[in-house]
Amino acid sequence: MTLTATVIAALGVAGVLVGSFLNVVIYRVPLGKSVVRPRSSCPTCGNVLSARDNVPIVSWIVLKGRCRRCGERIGMRYPLIEIVTGLLWAGLAWWALVVDGALPLLPLVLVLGSVGVSLAVIDLDHHRLPDQLVLPLYPIVLFGLAFPGVVSGEWPVWLTLGGGLLWLVGVGLPWLVTGGRGMGFGDVKLAPVLGMVLGWWAFSAAATGLLISFLLGAVVGVAVLVSGRGDRKSAVPFGPFLLVGALVGLVIGPIVGSAYVEIFQL
């Protein structure tokens, strides 16, 4: 295996392990419980998981998705979140290694991506984005962007603030106008963090990401209404769209930006 492939594979495995911890975060943070203690147990019978029953993905398959003691079903979502986080880490590593200048951004996007997975699932479950997870992202992003600044010697301060402002206005304005329907205040607090990282990378990434968030939100929102699975009141949470939009914007934003410039001969 080449060095690149080895790094991607190693980070993919690390991502699976992180995903296992995110399962704990997703379950406990909305309940106000500690993510450190106690050890994981079966929610039905309280059986504390032994080390061999707590191996990501593998234990779930070996136990055929059931608790060893009481036989109660353990949701498919646990291995699924581990797989998704592993793929996300491997994908981000690939992106950072292949795209010119992206490598110093890797530590930050891995942290943001991981917190993002837990935020997306919590938002789907509870229709909220807990402050305990959103607010620490502000110092994390400032430190996370200082690192590539030191490495590359580039400090795109105005682009960073511009991206943050674009996302703040882009999400905050609809929130104000609709009186908090469609999106919540949690989305308004999350948006500038994502916008700043995207703006640091490229303003086209911030613009594309925001656009994609709204397109996804519109498409899924209409699909839910048409399928009759929900009414206007059971609003689809917007956090997952912001997070997915940010990820897509990060990857394709600069490509979209240069295509735009070429087409319109700017």
Q: Which residues bind to Zn ion, rule: CB under 5 A?
A: 42, 44-45, 47, 67, 69-70, 72
Going by C-alpha positions, the residue among 105, 114, 155 that lies closest to residue 133 is 114
Could you give phi then psi for residue 48, rounded to 5 degrees?
A: -75, 130
Closer CB to Zn ion, residue 74 or residue 117?
74
Going by C-alpha positions, the residue among 234, 13, 18 that lies closest to residue 127 is 234
Task: Kindly state the smallest distance separating residue 53's Cβ from Zn ion, in Å.
Answer: 10
Cα(first)–Cα(last) distance of the chain, in Å?
43
Closer CB to Zn ion, residue 45 or residue 61?
45
Task: Kindly state the smallest distance separating residue 42's Cβ from Zn ion, in Å.
Answer: 3
Task: Kindly state the smallest distance separating residue 78's Cβ from Zn ion, in Å.
Answer: 14
Closer CB to Zn ion, residue 46 or residue 101?
46
Task: Kindly state the smallest distance separating residue 60's Cβ from Zn ion, in Å.
Answer: 14
Asked if residue 191 lies in contact with residue 178, where contact means CB atoms within 8 angstroms, the answer is no
Compute how many other C-beta atoms are within 10 angstroms of the C-beta atom of residue 213: 27
Task: Kindly state the smallest distance separating residue 200's Cβ from Zn ion, in Å.
Answer: 46
Asked if residue 200 lies in contact with residue 159, where contact means CB atoms within 8 angstroms, the answer is yes
Q: Which residues pair with 41 in a beta bridge?
A: 48
Closer CB to Zn ion, residue 72 or residue 154?
72
Side-chain-side CA neighbours of residue 63 (13 Å): 26
Closer CB to Zn ion, residue 74 or residue 246?
74
